[in-house]
Amino acid sequence: MSMGMSREQFLATSGARVHKLEFWLEQKWLIPEATDTGEGFTDREVARARLIQDLETDFGVNSEGIDIILHLIDQLHGMRRALTHLRADLGAKASSLPPDSQA
């Protein structure tokens, strides 16, 4: 994945307008990395920006709605992360059991 895009590169890649980006930053929907040369955006921010644009343009969600959706999605991914860890933990135990007792 490409590392550390500048603001200009991010705008070009995501197709977002400057004032939109500033609003997203203000809302903390995007959190670029602070680097010595300014903000560092990655493909992750581009993908997240695309999601915001999909919600806004294609689905007609307003900014209050987007705020809630992103919050829930972020919680969902936190859950998935915890589940992934649990799976690794439990999976290690389960594989030591006889095959027919595995779920």
Partner 1 sequence: MAENPYDLLGVAPTASAAEIQKAYRKLAKKHHPDLNPGDKAAEDKFKDISAAYTLLADVEKRKRFDAGEIDASGAERPQQRYYRDFADMDEGRPYASSAAYSDFMEDENGFAELLRRARRAQANRRGDDMRYRLPIAFVEAIRGANKRITLPDGGSLDVAIPPGLVDGQVLRLKGKGAPGMGTGGPGDALIEVEILPDARFTREGDNITLELPISLSEAVLGGQIRVPTPTGEVTMSVPKGSNTGTILRLRGKGAPRRDGGSGDELVRLKVILPKPPDPELEAFVSTWAKGKDFNPREGNRS
One symbol per residue from 15 to 44: x for binding partner 1 (CB under 8 A), - otherwise; what is it? ---x---x--xx-x--xxxxxx-xxx-xxx
Tell me the closest approach of the beta carbon of residue 44 to partner 1, in angstroms. Answer: 4
Choosing from 88, 95, 98, 100, the residue that interacts with partner 1 (CB under 8 A) is: 88
Contacts of 12 (CB under 8 A, 6+ apart): none
What burial letters (b/e) apply to 3-36, b meaning 16+ CB within 10 Å?
eebebeebbebbebeeebbeebeeeebbebeeee
The reply on whether position 68 binds partner 1 by CB under 8 A is no
Total residues contacting partner 1 by CB under 8 A comes to 46
